[in-house]
Structure 1
Amino acid sequence: MPTSQSAFRAQGIHCIDTELQRPGFDAAWLVVEQGRAAFIDCGTSHAVPAMLQALAAAGLGPEAVDWLILTHVHLDHAGGAGALLAHLPNAQVLVHPRGAPHLVDPSRLVAGATAVYGQAEMARHYGQVLPIDPARIVQMHDGQHIDLAGRPLLCIDTPGHARHHQCVFDARTRSWFTGDTFGISYRELDGTHGHFIIPTTSPVQFEPEPLKHSIGRLLEQQPQAMHLTHYGSVGDVARLGQQLIEQIDAMVAIGRQVLDAGTQALEERLFAALSAYYGERAAAAGLAPEAVLKVLAIDIRLNAQGLVCWLQRGSA
């Protein structure tokens, strides 16, 4: 199946740019079937107008949305859930059981993100994070099927990036909505080599073996495409999945090597080591390392922080 967004729109799958950080960085998804709709992830509260505009462009009103399915509750995926639900009178939220309490009381999420980004950056990029009425929340279970007007959506537990992560399989198109489980691949880095992809660890729950297992579960369905939050749809899934697993092992090895050299300035030394590693991969793919590292700067920083958290838990 072609992986262009126009091809997926014909199948009822719409990519929505939430415009977090920059264009083409953070996607949410709309699935439409027989006049009913489900959002998968929603970005921040600043993205609410874009979400409603995408719904209108599909010829639907807010009352047509049955589900807001959250892959996990990190703010770039779910920060705007409360604000969006205020416009969706019939929608329920499907979320991992570990994530549900943070939707009812988002204060810990907000505090954690504020500690990383600062109060001014939080307000500018993420806006207001509103609590959600528990009566509107459904806690997913592994292997759960959601019926969207006769279109089955399979939800599975996919820890590794976060312990509260799920992915959603659309049997119609044999494609997964992967959140952060299937890594990061920006469209400006596509080329003759195909897609350039890296894993995403992110603080604070990176676990390499569960993440590799989760990627394996996605590949078991022999999918034809993956719909990434960061960013858009990719094909050539088997090759990319193998690359992700190889890179997770390499990142773990880098983390152990850097830790063996001491804990002083651990994050900065990991950032430098990861940048060198991704730069080498970029050069091998025929890309300009400097350009790739500029695009990936935020993600490499988060990967360094994720590795620090994992190493400091003694997991290595």
Structure 2
Amino acid sequence: MAKVGDESTHDFYAEARARFKQRITLSNKRSAMFAEAGCGCDGCECALPQVEGAEIDLPELQVTGVRFRDSSRTYYFAPGAHELSAGDRVVVETERGSDIGVVVIAPHQVAAATLEGELKPIVRVATEVDLDLSESLQGQQGEALKIFAQKVRDHKLPMKPVKAEYNHDGSRLTFYFSSNGRVDFRQLVRDLASWFRCRIELRQIGPRDEARLIGSLGKCGRPLCCSTWLPQFADVTMTMAKNQDISHNPMKNSGACGKLLCCLSYEDAFYREVRRSLPRLGQIVTTERGPGYVHALNLLRESVTVRLDAGEDIECSVADLIIVKGERVNAPQGRRQPRRDTTR
């Protein structure tokens, strides 16, 4: 390591200062460029410099969106020479073999850089024979699940059978199960393969996937989002429940899977924005009817409940308040502490 005062150390710090000055210069130019754009955004064409002959030519590919049964996620495939439209059933090549899906997005051009992984081809448009065979196999999935459950009991494995699923031609049978830990099911797979005479796959899933595959009704009375339209599970935290002042009772904020409700994330941005616009609980304010402090937040109405010094509670909007610097820490004797929103 070079010592302080060495020529190499001096050159290193000199180069670092030069790079730092260059970043500052570029940052100032970027800020000025966005300010001249006038639209206030940070990414549209208005904020980009117009340089003649500097257009970027990105390679494009023709893709079509396909969705499989029991899945709300859309996968992209290469349509090839097939003329497809939304609603057509097609046989596609996947990482797990061929399967039947429904076209939900007609063929169109997209930038190749936006695609992830290898683009698999669409083999053909599904024929009547393919559809009849697939429908017949779906009718056999219930019986296959019963046999799977019996085999699990015979092998005395800690597994909960969830669902059985054939691919479109019956060459592969997938069993979904849940378990609290890892399970050695190698002997079970051999037993199932000799019984069904096809390729067997066992997939261990979690509580959320179990609820998605089985399906149910949510607390709102509608079918579960994950089993109908939700393409992927949302990241839900307890902070979202706190932002919406929902009870911490797991019976109220948990879904059919036992995890936090996915719908807590749908309105979280709205609640966070409203909370930023409202004064905090306990904040000392002045109203037309006298001074007081913020006793409750009414997030849905975007207003607050103010407890006046006289002991009366009134509801006010932010425009009707004058916020006094400082926050109320302890309520006077005979007054309750500020409470949270009770709109839910």
In terms of fraction of residues, the more strand-rich structure is 2
Which structure is richer in relative contact order (CA contacts within 8 A, separation 6 or more)?
Answer: 1
TM class, shorter-chain normalised?
under 0.3
Q: TM-score, normalised by structure 2?
A: 0.22
Q: TM-score, normalised by structure 1?
A: 0.23
